[in-house]
């Protein structure tokens, strides 16, 4: 189905402005990078490089791998014009489960529950194994993961402006009319976004991801003989509770005894911000669940 010009504009705005402006995890990477000071960073499933401006504050070499040639193309164009620190930035259009490079990195990033985009345990294990084989001896793999996106229950259409997502976006982003909806079907965790105006839907997009439980992820890390350390279950000062349903943690080789956890938590407390919230509790509070 071809989109009308106005529909296309709504979807372009969604991809370019809304999705690419999510900032809820910025403080995690800002803090981590300031503490660990990685000189080289590899992001698996990097999209357009949303996190690269943060990586650039420390790293001289940044590699992003993504399956989508369109996102990579946009990222390459953007960073040709916006590489203020002259870091070496490379986008590679390939599969995180099977890529091979003759290079190792100080930090490897799995952001925004990217492992949920892989369909089977075998794929997830391969992606983690591949990360390990590109990790420097003293390096870390940072994993931000939640088994369900936004909510662990199916929902009806929810206005973005009345949902947790509003906390993830800068105030300058126009979100009126945009809505999201969750649908859980077996192991499929489907997220729909649309732009709805006076009951007419101008644009709708579907992201199918797959449930990947935290226990399963931890099991995979141990199968690969990687140590892991859980940093938080949510981010922001509210994350210091045990209510969260995220795994925000670091994996490393067993002989890497250094842990940045203490320094990271100190910074979280100082920031006193509220960017991550427990998704289901948030929905219940809004009377949606
Ligand atoms: C939710 S986006 C996250 C983008 C980015 N990590 C961020 O934090 O903004 C998930 C990305 O994973 C990519 N992806 C999905 N499966 C992949 C695979 N097997 N190999 C590489 N990239 C993949 C998608 O193309 C998409 O850009």
- pLDDT exceeds cutoff 70 at 277: no
Both 109 and 230 in one domain: the answer is: yes
Specify the pLDDT at position 1: 42
Cβ of 65 below 6 Å from ligand 1: yes
Full residue range of the structural domain in which residue 167 is found: 154-206
Q: How far is the centre of ligand 1, averaged over its atoms, from the C-alpha of 43 (Å)? A: 9
Count: domains in the chain: 2
Cβ of 45 below 6 Å from ligand 1: yes
pLDDT, averaged across the chain:
87
Both 21 and 96 in one domain: the answer is: yes
- Domain-located, residue 241: yes
- Domain-located, residue 289: no
> Mind listing the pLDDT tens digit for each residue in 182-217?
999 999 999 999 998 877 888 889 999 999 999 999
Both 31 and 170 in one domain: the answer is: no
Q: What is the pTM of this model?
A: 0.91
What are φ and ψ of residue 167, in 5° steps? -75, -10
Both 235 and 270 in one domain: the answer is: yes
Domain boundary among 184, 206, 228: 206
Domain boundary among 206, 231, 248: 206
Both 82 and 118 in one domain: the answer is: yes
> Mind listing the pLDDT tens digit for each residue in 30-48?
999 999 999 999 999 999 9
Specify the pLDDT at position 274: 58
- pLDDT exceeds cutoff 50 at 278: no
Cβ of 71 below 6 Å from ligand 1: yes
> Mind listing the pLDDT tens digit for each residue in 82-97?
987 889 999 999 999 9
CATH of the domain at 115: 3.40.50.150
> Mind listing the pLDDT tens digit for each residue in 119-155?
999 999 999 999 999 999 999 999 999 888 888 889 9
Least confident interval from 13-17, 191-195, 261-265, 268-272: 268-272
């Amino acid at each position: 189905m071809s989109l009308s010009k106005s529909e296309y504009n709504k979807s372009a705005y969604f991809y370019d402005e809304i999705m690419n402006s999510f900032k809820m995890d910025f403080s995690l990477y800002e803090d981590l990078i300031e503490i660990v000071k990685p000189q080289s960073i590899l992001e698996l499933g990097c999209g357009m490089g949303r996190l690269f401006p943060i990586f650039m504050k420390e790293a001289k070499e940044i590699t992003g791998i993504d399956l989508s040639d369109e996102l990579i193309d946009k990222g390459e164009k953007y960073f040709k014009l916006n590489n203020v620190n002259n870091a070496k930035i490379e986008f590679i259009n390939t599969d995180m489960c099977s890529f091979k490079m003759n290079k190792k990195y100080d930090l490897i990033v799995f952001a925004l529950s990217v492992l949920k985009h892989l369909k089977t345990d075998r794929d997830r294990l391969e992606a983690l194994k591949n990360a390990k084989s590109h990790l420097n001896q003293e390096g870390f793999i940072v994993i931000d993961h939640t088994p369900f996106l936004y909510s662990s229950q199916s929902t009806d259409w929810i206005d973005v402006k009345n949902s947790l997502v509003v906390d993830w976006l800068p105030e300058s982003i126009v979100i009126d009319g945009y809505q999201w909806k969750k649908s859980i079907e077996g192991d499929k965790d489907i997220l729909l976004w649309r732009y709805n105006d006076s009951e007419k839907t101008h644009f709708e997009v579907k992201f199918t991801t797959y449930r990947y439980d935290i226990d399963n992820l931890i099991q995979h890390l141990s199968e690969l003989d990687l140590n892991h350390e859980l940093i938080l279950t949510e981010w922001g000062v509210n994350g210091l509770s045990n209510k969260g349903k995220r795994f925000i943690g670091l994996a490393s080789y067993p002989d890497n005894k250094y842990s940045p956890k203490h320094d990271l938590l100190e910074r979280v407390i100082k920031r006193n911000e509220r960017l991550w919230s427990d998704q289901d509790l948030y929905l219940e509070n809004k009377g949606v669940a």
